[in-house]
Amino acid sequence: MADVGVVSPTNIALVKYWGKHPRYPGLFIPTKSSISLNIASFTTRTRLRTKKGTNEVRFSLNGRKVGEEEEEFAYVRDFFGRLSTRYRFAKRYSYLIESRNNFPTASGFASSASGFSALAVAFARAMEEQGETPRLGDRDVSVIARLGSGSATRSVPSKGGLVIWHRGYDGARNDDDASAASFAESLYRPSHFAELALICVNAGGGQKKVKSRAGMDESVKTAKGYWSWVENEEKELLPSMLRTVRRKDWAAMFGLVREASDNFHRVCRETKPPIAYLNDTSRKIVRLVGPPEQAAYTFDAGPNAVVIALKDRAKGLRSALAGLVGKRNVVQSAVGAGPVEA
């Protein structure tokens, strides 16, 4: 029996992940690399209890038992299924998972990133405690999280801050090579971003209408400019953004973050049938944020925004945004570190 508790932050993608490579079915290898910042204030706390058994999974979210017929349950069960092809011993255990988000699951902020990151770290620590494996490093654990949810891969590295998830398949000789190379690592610690604030804005979308997993599969198959978007971001936009981060040239970084968000939503619109994640409030947020030198906006698979700005501008922006969506729908956070045992 092992009993482990982990708290993991969620993250906001600056260069987005959107699509698994069709050459590697079932391995969850992305078509492109992505980068993100951990959001210190939005976390999932997961307690995992494991014991030798019949591979039963029980799962509760925010104090409510998730039934076997529910989609969330299928995500977790399938995760353990994929996991046991890599770690055979996983099949010999039963799992009791209790997860709590400190933000509303339906707020549209990605709880799958913090949720599967916390679960992957807890699984690794539990299996180490049970003597099944030597200590697994961040790199291996990020690969485990990848099998649950792509964005979770980037929440795993313990230093956190700015994290890159490498697509990994360039030059890979086989599936195992590509899978091992598609991992996440921290490039800049949170202290590098001490001047910046992340302002998280709930634009009132509730639960996503098109789940990211289904949406991205459609985009890979049908979006007109999909592969040129992939290669342009891999070769141009992502390396340029990393250069602006290294120099702390925040004005230039803000421009590129906006461009990456706009590019992603264009790919969604070019998907057949088109996917529209933004709503009127999202568009008002874009206008309110003002010129690119001053702040960035970015939207994942939903209408909610994360606005990135210099701290000394954050107060003004926060009150303007509160005027639009109400004070309790605006949360300011710092860039955060990675998961901790707790």
Span of 55-63, 145-153, 172-180, 290-298 interacting with ligand PMV by CB under 6 A: 145-153
**Residue 255 interacts with ligand PMV (CB under 6 A): yes or no:** no
| Residue 12 CB, nearest approach to ligand PMV (Å) | 8
| Residue 131 CB, nearest approach to ligand PMV (Å) | 31
Enclosing H/E stretch for 145 = helix 138-146
Residue 132 pairs in a beta bridge with none
| Residue 213 CB, nearest approach to ligand PMV (Å) | 5
Residue 242, classed as helix, strand or coil, is helix
The only residue of 27, 197, 301, 321 in contact with ligand PMV, by rule CB under 6 A? 301
Task: CB nearer to ligand PMV: give 194 or 214.
Answer: 214
Q: Which tokens in the block code for residue 256?
A: 């590129």
**Residue 34 interacts with ligand PMV (CB under 6 A): yes or no:** yes
The only residue of 296, 300, 321, 336 in contact with ligand PMV, by rule CB under 6 A? 300
The only residue of 107, 149, 219, 282 in contact with ligand PMV, by rule CB under 6 A? 149
Residue with tokens 């990994």: 168
Pairing of strands 34-52, 93-101: antiparallel
**Residue 31 interacts with ligand PMV (CB under 6 A): yes or no:** no
Round to whole Å and give the CA distance between 135 and 120: 13
| Residue 18 CB, nearest approach to ligand PMV (Å) | 6
| Residue 302 CB, nearest approach to ligand PMV (Å) | 8
At 35, the amino acid letter reads I
The only residue of 151, 155, 186, 271 in contact with ligand PMV, by rule CB under 6 A? 151
Task: CB nearer to ligand PMV: give 2 or 27.
Answer: 27
Binding mask 174-213 for ligand PMV (x = CB under 6 A): --------------------------------------xx
Burial call 137-152: b when 16+ CB within 10 Å, e when fewer: ebebbbbbbbbbbbbb
Cα distances (Å, whole numbers) of residue 201 to 47, 242, 275, 294: 28, 25, 21, 17
Sequence-ordered strand ranges (E) for 161-285: 162-165, 184-188, 196-201
The only residue of 2, 8, 10, 16 in contact with ligand PMV, by rule CB under 6 A? 16
CB 232 within 8 A of CB 256: no
Binding mask 88-127 for ligand PMV (x = CB under 6 A): ----------------------x-xx--------------
Task: CB nearer to ligand PMV: give 146 or 318.
Answer: 146
Angle at 284 (CA atoms; ends 220, 303), nearest 5 degrees = 35
Q: Concatenate the DSSP letters of all residues of 60-109 into one string.
A: EETTEEPPTTSHHHHHHHHHHHHHHHHSGGGGGEEEEEEEEESS-GGGSS
**Residue 13 interacts with ligand PMV (CB under 6 A): yes or no:** yes
Task: CB nearer to ligand PMV: give 36 or 50.
Answer: 36
Burial call 163-183: b when 16+ CB within 10 Å, e when fewer: bbbbbbbeebeeeeebbebbb
Task: CB nearer to ligand PMV: give 50 or 149.
Answer: 149
Binding site for ligand PMV (CB under 6 A): 13, 16-18, 34, 110, 112-113, 149-151, 212-213, 300-301
